[in-house]
Each structure stands twice: as structure tokens, then as C-alpha cells.
Amino acid sequence: LPVLAIVGRPNVGKSALVNRIIGRREAVVEDTPGVTRDRVNYKAEWNNRHFTIVDTGGWEPDAKGIDASVAAQAEIAIDLADAVLFVVDATVGPTSTDEHVVRMLRATKKPVILVANKVDDVHQESDAAALWSLGLGQPWPSSAVHGRGVADLLDHVLTVLPEISTVAKEEVGGPRRVAILGRPNVGKSSLLNKTAGEERVVVNDLAGTTRDPVDEQIELGGKFWRFVDTAGIRRRVALAQGADFYATLRTSAALEKAEVAVVIFDVSQPLSVQDLKIVDLVLESGRALVLAFNKWDLLDDERRDLLEREIDKDLGHVAWAPRVNISAKTGRHMEKLVPALELALESWDTRIPTGKFNALLAELTQEHPHPLRGGKQPRILFGTQASSRPPTFVLFTTGFLDPQYRRFITRRLREIFGFDGSPIQVNMRVRE
Ligand code: GDP
């Protein structure tokens, strides 16, 4: 889906606007200083067009950190969104922070829409008009809280937002898109340098004036691959506050653009909460997954035993993901990465013919019928694969299936078809 990013200073009304657009009270309440939101991606729809909203404002910096945090928002939006909504508080007028961000936004070719928020009634329209001075074109007056102007704003958004993501457009026959993920220092840029077969300069570009390409195409195993958001890996931005939040934001946005994720772990360190959170983000995104255990050269026997136990304990739920044990430094087993990516993508693309799927369902229900509930037995009437990428199945049933029974079906599907490297989903439609 195309990605619309929302950027702006704290308290200008970003989450109110997100709420208004998605029509739910899901993005967190405003005016709660110090709140860090976990959720950054929201599915939105307007006039039958679907898109993803990335709310970059989930971190509430203190006064000192505002410039850096809004700059970080803008940078991520410029790199990873298809269009940017820049929200300004029209009752306050442009601040120096706003002007700083405007310089970054004007350097991008991506569409930028200026929202003059908190224009609650017609008498405040002149506040909005004053924002022409920012040089971002027409300010769109809106009141996120009251809904005023938001419909016009969204109509305009749809005219500048590409129908499908600019990256997804290359989907047919183009290079497959890979996100390299992992917490700092696990070896992401080392892996990139090793796969590309050359050392590259790490670009430090906070100002965003000369933007290097966000993605890189690399030929591996006779095929081109697109590594998404390598700019985010190569550009090491030191942020005094909110570094974790911006890392999560960047990871979520990169996943939107990717088809398969390689999550890198540093085997010389215990698996951390942050590592597991990244795996969770991949699962939430529905992308294919490969696990890469890096710095294998540093492993001694003792740490190796510990690692295997940590993996059993914390990564048991993704035991289906192909695993490569590598060293980006020595090059150990680096050649196994491409086959792992190919396997994961093949699973992700899989379509099981309906006839075959129903024959299998018949076998499974014979082998292990659903337990009786209140004297009745929920039956599966029919099943079909609704979509691939990732494989998603729908079962039409005469009653709710126990979660346990659904897990049984999911497990057997994996045993039979593999789906190595891809999440799969089994949904239910009850026909009374
Ligand atoms: P990033 O922050 O994830 O991009 O991590 P880097 O690629 O910058 O690596 C962080 C540090 O780990 C650097 O000092 C690398 O030289 C080192 N490193 C990366 N991969 C390996 C590896 O396989 N073995 C060893 N021993 N060190 C590594």
C-alpha cells in the first residue's frame, strides 16, 4: 500500500488527525507528555482507496530535543513515505522548528502537503493563509478535532498519493525487496558491505540536503535484489532521545516496502527484548522472514550452548523461519543467505489450489475431528486460500472452531506444505 507519513512538532494535532482519518480512537490521546506510542502504522481508507498512515510523532521529546526529533521524523518520512503530511499549528504560526523541517521537506521530490491545523472556524482561516510563507504551497486548513476541512484535505491527498506504492510498482518481474533489520551493531552494514562485495563509505547526512538513494540494488546469485532503506543502515544518526522509537519507526516503514526481512542477531550477546521486538514487527507486517545469526566467529562452546537455549525459548514461535549462521566479517556461510531468501519468498508466494486444500481438510477432519461442544460439532464446510503474500486461508464453518483446533490445522498445513520462512494465517467465517 502507498504510505502517507505525518510529520510535525509535538501538540500540533498529529494523532487527532490520524484518529480523524482512520475514524477510530486508536491512535493515542494527545496532550499526554512523555507517552511513547507502540503503534506507528495504521490502515486507512478514503473513497475506496487504501493506504498506510505512518504516524511519526509517537515520541514526545522534551523542549531541548524537539528539533532533533522532528528532523528525525522528517528524514524517515522523506526516505520511506510516498507522500508527507506536514502539520503546523495555525494558531501558533510557523516556528523555527517548522522552518528547519521545511528546508528538509523542500529538498525532496516526494509530494508534501501542508496542513494548517486547529482552524476550528471560519474566523481562523486567515491564520491558515499566513502559512503560505513557508513556501510549501497551499496550506490546507483543518480542524482534526472537529473534522472541519479534513474531507477536502483527504480528497487532495488522493490526488498526489500514488495508487500503489512507488516501490511496489516495480513488483512485476522486478527485483525482490529485502529489508535488513536488527538493533544497532549487530552487523547490518557489515553484511551489506560483504554481500555487495565492496567496502562503502558510510554517509552521514542529517541535514538531508544531498540525499543518496534510499534503496540499493545488489546482484546476488545471478539475480538483482533490492535492499530497502539501506540509507537508514548507512546513515548513523545520533539522537539524544527517542532513539528506540525512531529505530522502530524506521523498521516499520522499511517493512511496508519489503517482501522479506532478514533479522540479524549478534550471537556474542544474549538475545534481547529489542531483538524480539523486531521479530514481532516482522510478524505483524506479514512479510517473509529469515533469521541471520551473525558474528559466528566470536562463538565459543559455552556461549553456543546458551544461544541454542535462548533460541528455543524465545524464537520457538518462528521456528519455521530459515536460519543462517554467518560471519559478515570472515564471510562464513554468507552464500547461504540467498537460498534462504529464495525459500522464504517461495513460501510467501505459494498458492494451494482449492481442490487440493479441501481434500486435505477432509483428511484432517477425519484424522482429528473437532471436539463436541454442547452436543454439537462445528464442521468445516469448505476452505479456500484467499490470498498469498503471506498465504491466508479462510475456512467456512458451521460454528466457531476452538483456537486449539485452528492451531492444529495451521500446524498440519505447515507440516504438509512447509511454508518455510512465511507466516501463514487461517481465518474463519461462521455460517449459521
Ligand atoms: P550495524 O549497526 O548493525 O550496521 O553494525 P555494523 O555492521 O556497523 O557492525 C558493528 C560492529 O560489529 C563493527 O565493529 C563490525 O566490524 C562488527 N562486526 C560485524 N559483523 C561481524 C562478524 O561477523 N564478526 C565480528 N567479529 N565482528 C563483526
pLDDT digits (tens, 9 = 90+) for 95-135: 999 999 999 999 888 899 999 999 988 888 888 899 999 99
φ and ψ at residue 399, rounded to 5 degrees: -175, 170
Low-confidence ranges of the chain (pLDDT < 50): 29-35, 169, 199-211
251: its cell numbers: 523498521
Q: How many CB atoms lie within 10 A of CB 97?
A: 18
Q: Which atom of ligand 1 is the closest one to the Cα of 186?
A: 3
Q: Which helix (H) or strand (E) holds 116?
A: strand 112-117
The residue assigned the cell 508534501 is 112
pLDDT of residue 246: 87
Q: Which atom of ligand 1 is the closest one to the Cα of 264?
A: 3
Ligand 1, residues at Cβ distance < 6 Å:
182, 184-190, 233, 294-295, 297-298, 327-329
Q: Which residues pair with 225 in a beta bridge?
A: 176, 218
Q: How far is CA 240 from CA 7, 70, 127, 243, in A?
A: 19, 13, 33, 7
Q: How many CB atoms lie within 10 A of CB 256?
A: 24
226 exposure class (CB count in 10 Å sphere: 0-12, 13-18, 19+):
buried
pLDDT of residue 231: 83
Sequence-distant (≥ 6) Cβ neighbours of residue 138 within 8 angstroms: 114, 132
- The Cα angle at residue 316 between residues 253 and 386, in degrees rounded to 5: 60
Q: Which helix (H) or strand (E) holds 395?
A: strand 392-397
DSSP state of 82: S
Mutate to test the pocket of ligand 1, among 181, 183, 185, 298 (most ligand atoms within 8 A of CB): 185
What is the distance in A from the centroid of ligand 1 to the CA of 262?
15
Q: Which atom of ligand 1 is the closest one to the Cα of 236?
A: 2
Q: How far is CA 176 from CA 179, 223, 259, 352, in A?
A: 10, 9, 7, 22
Dihedral sign computed on CA atoms, order 277, 283, 285, 289: positive
149 in the Ramachandran plot: left (φ > 0), alpha (ψ -120 to 50) or beta? Answer: left
pLDDT of residue 420: 97
Sheet holding 223-228, edge to edge: 216-220, 223-228, 176-181, 260-266, 288-294, 323-325
SS3 content of the chain, % helix, strand, coil (to 5): 40, 20, 40
* CA–CA separation, 127 and 191 (whole Å): 50
Mutate to test the pocket of ligand 1, among 190, 192, 216, 230 (most ligand atoms within 8 A of CB): 190
201: its cell numbers: 563509505
pLDDT of residue 344: 98
Q: Which atom of ligand 1 is the closest one to the Cα of 332?
A: 23
What is the distance in A from the centroid of ligand 1 to the CA of 190?
6
pLDDT of residue 376: 87
Q: Which atom of ligand 1 is the closest one to the Cα of 190?
A: 7
0.95 exceeded by the pTM?
Answer: no
374 exposure class (CB count in 10 Å sphere: 0-12, 13-18, 19+):
exposed
Nearest CA to ligand 1 atom 26: 295
What is the distance in A from the centroid of ligand 1 to the CA of 333?
16
What is the ipTM for the molecules in this complex? Answer: 0.93
What is the distance in A from the centroid of ligand 1 to the CA of 99?
37
Nearest CA to ligand 1 atom 18: 187
Q: How far is CA 44 from CA 5, 26, 186, 272, in A?
A: 12, 12, 34, 33
Sheet holding 380-387, edge to edge: 380-387, 392-397, 425-430
pLDDT of residue 26: 53
